[in-house]
Copies of this chain bind each other. A is one copy, B any other.
Amino acid sequence: MFREKIKVFDCTIRDGGLINKHDFDMPFVKAVYKALSEAGVDYMEIGYKNSKKLFAPKDFGVWKFCDDEDIKKAIGEVKSKTKISVMVDVDRVDVDDIKKKKDSPVDMIRVAAYVKDIDKAIYLVNNFSDKGYETTVNIMAVSRALDNELSEALHQLEKESKAQVIYIVDSFGALYQESIEFLVKKFKSILKSKEIGIHAHNNQQLGFSNTIEAIIHDANYVDGTVYGLGRAAGNCPLELLIGFLKNPKYDIRPILDLISKEFIPLRDKLEWGYIIPYAITGILDEHPKSAIALRESDKKDNYREFYESLLGDDID
């Protein structure tokens, strides 16, 4: 697949940070930035902008806050066309922490929000756009959104927001390709002036194929992480995405090197990927938190009991 408008967006450090409290050391982050730059990846998301009034810096690594000084250290002297992104969550960012773009090493800010928080997201994204940043709104847990509420949110985003890109986020890794097709077509039909993005989780080994599916239906912003690193099952593997795209600007070789040198050793320290409890929460369209808790318990490989526990809630 070659389409010039496609932008490959790496969120290894940001999404991976959810499994180590954002505590990747500086040489690792520098290695990722250098490899992404050499591979021609368009964006690297390096962490979150969280308010230090809400989270104590001593309890987390620096990529939970992404101070300019730390970003500049990671970039170092590398010659690169790879732009830097940070993510903000609704209700967790202090808007006054965000300087004007001209005074910052950051190029893009992505606002993650549920459908119910779309008004807050629009406020934030317009604030950041006015400060000069490229911006996106990432609609989380879209597999759980009620269609009429999602439609209303998309109409608002089209009319009221300055975001250039609106992302479909399959937070639970629950969606099959038919639903990705449905959603991309829906987003495009309403968001006439925006690009569409896709951020796919890999609970059912569908992260890559769902990203291809979104590309087929004209999503142009595609997220991946190196070796699929990310919370729980992780994400669409960046190396597969680069292997699929035919745009000559991309080069898979620096990513292969990076995996050999940094990610194979990392696998001994962090757990992510295709692990049955995460597949189960994906199949059931559930947040992975129950599976994460299971993996930290002494019943971590008791899959049947875990599955049955999720079916067991009384409901009417």
Which of A64-72, A102-110, A150-158, A273-281 interfaces with chain B?
A273-281
Contact with B along A182-209 (1 / 0, CB 8 A): 0000000000000000000010111111
Interface residues of A in 255-313 (CB under 8 A from B): 256-257, 259-260, 264, 273-274, 276, 279-280, 283, 301-304, 307-308
> Is there contact, CB below 8 Å, between A205 and B240?
yes
Closest to A216 in B: B178
In the complex the two chains form, what is the Cα distance from A178 to B50 in whole Å?
Answer: 41
CB of A176 within 8 Å of the partner chain: yes
Is A76 in the interface zone, CB < 8 Å from B?
Answer: no
Kindly list chain B residues whose C-beta atoms are within 8 Å of the C-beta of A212. Answer: 176-177
Does A253 sit within 8 A of B, measured CB to CB?
Answer: yes
Is there contact, CB below 8 Å, between B213 and A177? yes
Please give the count of copies of this chain that the complex contains: 2
A203-226 contacts to B (CB < 8 Å): 204-210, 212-213, 216
**A260 proximity list for chain B (CB < 8 A):** 276, 301-304
- What distance in Å separates the Cβ of A311 from its nearest Cβ neighbour in chain B? 10
A176 CA / B256 CA spacing, docked (Å): 21
- Known A-B contacts A209-B209, A274-B274; the reply to A304 vs B253 at CB < 8 A is yes
Q: Which of A30-65 contact B (CB under 8 A)?
A: none
Cβ of A252 within 8 Å of any chain B Cβ, yes or no, is: yes
* Interface size bracket, A side: 35 or more
Which residues of A, 239-261, contact B by the 8 Å Cβ criterion?
Answer: 239-240, 243-244, 252-253, 256-257, 259-260
Known contacts A237-B205, A256-B307, A308-B253; decide if A273 and B276 are in contact (CB<8 Å).
no
Q: Are B279 and A204 in contact (CB under 8 A)?
A: no
A308→B204 CA distance, assembly (Å)? 31
Residues in B with CB closer than 8 Å to A276 are 227, 239, 256, 259-260
Q: Are A205 and B209 in contact (CB under 8 A)?
A: yes
Decide: B177 and A243 in contact? CB cutoff 8 A: no
Q: Are A303 and B204 in contact (CB under 8 A)?
A: no
A253 neighbours in B (Cβ, 8 Å) = 304, 307-308
Residues on B with beta carbons closer than 8 Å to the beta carbon of A227: 276
Kindly list chain B residues whose C-beta atoms are within 8 Å of the C-beta of A177: 177, 209, 212-213, 216
Q: How far is the CB of A298 from chain B (nearest CB, A)?
A: 13
Q: Which residues of A contact B (CB under 8 A)?
A: 176-178, 202, 204-210, 212-213, 216, 227-228, 237, 239-240, 243-244, 252-253, 256-257, 259-260, 264, 273-274, 276, 279-280, 283, 301-304, 307-308
A–B pairs, 22, beta carbons within 8 Å: A176-B209, A176-B244, A177-B212, A202-B205, A204-B243, A205-B205, A205-B207, A205-B209, A206-B208, A206-B209, A208-B209, A209-B210, A227-B276, A237-B279, A240-B279, A243-B279, A243-B283, A252-B307, A257-B304, A260-B301, A264-B301, A274-B274
